[in-house]
């Protein structure tokens, strides 16, 4: 009889530990998506922290150095979203460069608390009017 009690207690402890580990991992996951992937299923990312990657759209960068508010638009040539970031931009941040912003969508605006500038010796922004290769963009940003 004692064996069954210990066995059930052991299974209960293992099940509880597994549940807690699964919960901790699912809460800490941050999904990486492109703007067009978000546009395809915005409800899938509600109340989730995500990383949005793309290219900084030319002519959209505005920085308020008094309030440390940076605003710009990120695009993958199919979809464009405005981004609002608090803090100073990294030194390499500029138009037509790859960025990854981390945060959440709020009323159609991506509110970021982490901004990463992605760069590579290989990637070159597309020429005017030339579409962006989404797979190459995703590979470059990851």
Give the tens place of pLDDT for each residue, 25-84.
665 667 788 999 999 988 888 878 899 999 999 999 999 888 889 999 999 989 999 999
**How many CB atoms are located within 10 Å of the residue 54 CB?**
29
pLDDT grade, residue 135 (50/70/90)? confident
- Domain count across the chain: 1
Distances (CA, A) of 49 to 2, 7, 20: 47, 39, 20
- Which of 46 and 124 is assigned the larger pLDDT? 46
Q: What is the CATH number of the domain that holds 103?
A: 2.40.50.140
CA dihedral 50, 105, 38, 141 (to 10 degrees): -40
Work out the mean pLDDT of the chain and round it to a whole number: 83
Residue 9 lies in a domain: no
**Which pairs count as long-range contacts for 104-109, CB under 8 Å and 24+ apart, including other chains?**
104/47, 104/48, 104/49, 104/50, 105/38, 105/42, 105/45, 105/50, 105/81, 108/81, 108/82, 109/81, 109/82, 109/83, 109/84
User: Full-prediction pTM beyond 0.75?
Assistant: no
Q: What pLDDT was estimated at residue 5?
A: 86
Residue 105 corresponds to which tokens in the numbers above?
């969508």
35 membership: H or E segment, kind and range: helix 35-40
Residue 3 lies in a domain: no
Residue 13 lies in a domain: no
Q: What pLDDT was estimated at residue 129?
A: 66
**Cα(132)–Cα(138) distance, integer angstroms:** 10
| Structural domain containing residue 42 | 30-141
Residue 67 lies in a domain: yes
Q: What pLDDT was estimated at residue 83?
A: 96
Q: What pLDDT was estimated at residue 122?
A: 59
Percent of the chain with pLDDT over 70: 81
Q: Is the pLDDT of residue 112 over 90?
A: yes
Which residues on neighbouring strands pair with residue 53, listed in sequence order? Answer: 100
């Amino acid at each position: 009889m004692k064996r069954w009690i210990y066995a059930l207690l052991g299974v209960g402890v293992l099940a509880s530990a597994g549940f807690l580990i699964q919960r901790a991992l699912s809460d800490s996951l941050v999904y990486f998506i492109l703007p067009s992937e978000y546009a395809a299923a915005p409800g899938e990312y509600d109340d989730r922290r995500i990383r949005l990657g793309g290219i900084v759209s030319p002519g959209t960068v505005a920085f308020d150095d008094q309030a440390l508010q940076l605003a710009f638009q990120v695009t993958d040539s199919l979809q464009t979203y405005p981004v609002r970031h608090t803090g100073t931009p990294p030194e390499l941040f500029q138009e037509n460069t790859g960025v990854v912003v981390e945060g959440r969508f709020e009323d159609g605006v991506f509110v970021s608390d982490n901004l990463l500038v992605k760069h590579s010796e290989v990637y070159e922004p597309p020429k005017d009017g030339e579409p962006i290769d989404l797979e190459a963009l995703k590979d470059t940003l990851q």
